[in-house]
Structure formats: structure tokens, C-alpha cells
Structure 1
């Protein structure tokens, strides 16, 4: 028997408030398929509720059993679960969404909502520098690296990348991404 409207409303509330036991009970009773189909009146899915409220334990439970396309689900304002995580400053949630194996990955960072903002724009709007910096580090950057700069004799050269990002309001943020840390050596 499929879940009733009351069942799906309760599922969304359980996701919103982080009630892992109730979410697990729903899956036990109805299976995983209704998780992907459940939406509220604003087209928010279970991941919107979880990610907007920072419930990492519920996210970790659901990610392996929902279709990976749900990670990019857009609500009526075209915001994704990553937008909600960025707006509410939930770094571990953002990391799980972007780094989930087999998911959309860093392409999630490029999705814009009806306000014209990406998750990065939402993090900036919220004044959340740590999240904005992490998103920039994860983005596909077109860095011009000359072959001579890529390697030094006897080891790798570390580069800092300076990035300018223009948000939807036309404001430009400058950020330097440090190339510190170990790099992979080219063995050709």
C-alpha cells in the first residue's frame, strides 16, 4: 500500500526535524521509492528539509538509497538542497552533497535559482566566508598554467590561485586559494 498524504507530510517533518528513527520507519514500511517522489507545496524534497536544517545523520542514511538525481532537485524557487545548506551554513552537509560518489558532484555548485544565485551566491549573501571559500575551492577553475610552471626540478611547485567571483548583484569578491599541501608528481 502506498503512503498516504499524511504519511508523506510526516516524512517531510521528520526530515526537517532530523528524526532518523521516523525516517527509517517510513523506509521500512514503504520502501525507498516514495522518498524521491515526496514534495511539499513548494516542491521541496526530503533532501531540502535535511540539508536546510543540517541533519547529517539523516543525510548519511538517505544518500545511498535515494536516486542521485535527487541531489540536484529544484524546488519552486529552483533552489537545490545545496542552496539550502549554503544559506544555512552547513559545511558538512555541503561536503556530503558535492562529494557523494556517483552524484552530480561539483556541477551542483553551478545551478542557479530563480534569484539568479548559485549555492556560492547564497553562502556569500549569508556572509558565510568558510562555506564560500570551500565552494570556490571545489569549483572547476580555468587556470592558465604554463608547462614550465607546473613542475620544478626535483619536485612539484605549489601555486596560489587568485579568483574573482561576481555575484548576482554585480559585486565582485576576490579570494586567494592557497596551493599548500602535497601534490601528485607527474611520472612520464
Structure 2
């Protein structure tokens, strides 16, 4: 059972995580035990992982991932954002990779969790213009069409080529032609 912590003790460890103060986090764990970290939340539902991941403190994250419950990786705050959302919002690639690759964690399923804004961590990366992170999320995501019948993946009879025009934010237009499977043969 975790000890009963005062609001000040909770705030102190959350601030230590926010500012990347590993010695203070270690001292807290020595005093109260690692399990006490699992239940700590701020007024907005943020965990110690939210604080560390938002601010890119890899050394503190490495320490915490060894001692906190793996379920903490998928905990959502009041805005339904996970620590991975916060890493994506702040362009912390190594942090995002450690969260997704954590052996006991939910893995790539973390990338599919949506927040109140309806965005996944990939969506947050794209929304913030973080191309490197968005590219990495797409590379590791599970894009398989599991459970789909083979017939569902066949093109419709009489399918034709599609031409698409896309305008970027600078007004530049890109044209693209998507060939139907029947015309690609």
C-alpha cells in the first residue's frame, strides 16, 4: 500500500519531474517507495510521466520506466492526453520512442489513443508541424488490415483512375493520379 502523501509532497515530485531533477525524484522514491508514483496526479490529471515527457527529460524517464507501473504509460489526463501526446506536442522523438518501445507497455497501441481534441499522438505531431515524429509514428504504426476479408480489398468492378489536386498552405498545387488496379496491369 502506498503511503498517504501531502499535497505538497505530490507537488514537489511533480515539479521535480517537470524540471528533470533526477536526484529529487530518487529521494522521493527512497522516502515513499516507487509505487507511490503511480497514483500521483496534478489538478489536471497529469502524472509524473506527463511532466517528464512534456519536457524531454530522458534521464528521469529512464529511471521512472524501471519503477512505475507500465499501465501509467496509457493514463490519460483530464484532456484525455497521454504522456505520448505530450511528447508529440513538444517534439521529443527519443521520449516518444522510449514510451512506445517500453517492453512492458502497450507498445504501438499508444499511438492510437485519442484525446479530447480527437487527435492521436500522430495527429498532435502533424498538428504541430513535427514531421520527424509524424514520420516515425507512421513507420511503427500497425497499418495491417487485420480481420478484413480478401474480397473487401479487391477493387470495385469498373474502377477508374482518380486525379487529385492538393493545395498546400503556400498556395502551391500538386497534382497526382492514382491508377485503378485494373489500369495498372
Q: TM-score, normalised on structure 2? A: 0.76
Name the larger-Rg structure: 2
Q: Matches of 1:126 and 1:79 in 2, distance apart?
A: 15
Q: Once the 2 structures are TM-superposed, how far is the Cα of residue 82 of structure 1 from its aligned partner?
A: 0.2
* Runs of 4+ residues over 2 Å off in structure 1: none
Q: Once the 2 structures are TM-superposed, how far is the Cα of residue 100 of structure 1 from its aligned partner?
A: 0.5
1:72 to 62, 74, 81: 74
Matches within 5 A, 1:1-188: 2-142=4-144
Aligned residue pairs total 145
| Contact kept in structure 2, 1:18 and 1:50, CA below 8 Å | yes
Q: Matches of 1:5 and 1:127 in 2, distance apart?
A: 37
RMSD of equivalent CA atoms: 1.5
What residue is the counterpart of 1:168 in the other structure?
Answer: none
Q: TM-score, normalised on structure 1? A: 0.75
Q: Once the 2 structures are TM-superposed, how far is the Cα of residue 34 of structure 1 from its aligned partner?
A: 1.3
Q: Matches of 2:63 and 2:5 in 1, distance apart?
A: 20
Q: Matches of 1:64 and 1:113 in 2, distance apart?
A: 26
Q: Matches of 1:55 and 1:102 in 2, distance apart?
A: 20
Structure 1: segments with no counterpart, 5+ residues:
145-170, 172-188
Per-residue deviation, residues 121-176 of structure 1 (Å, max 9, x unmatched): 000011000000000001001279xxxxxxxxxxxxxxxxxxxxxxxxxx9xxxxx
Q: Matches of 1:56 and 1:2 in 2, distance apart?
A: 28
Structure 2: segments with no counterpart, 5+ residues:
147-167, 169-185
What residue is the counterpart of 1:181 in the other structure?
Answer: none
Q: Once the 2 structures are TM-superposed, how far is the Cα of residue 4 of structure 1 from its aligned partner?
A: 1.5
Q: Once the 2 structures are TM-superposed, how far is the Cα of residue 2 of structure 1 from its aligned partner?
A: 3.2
| Contact kept in structure 2, 1:77 and 1:113, CA below 8 Å | yes
SS in 2 for 1:108: helix
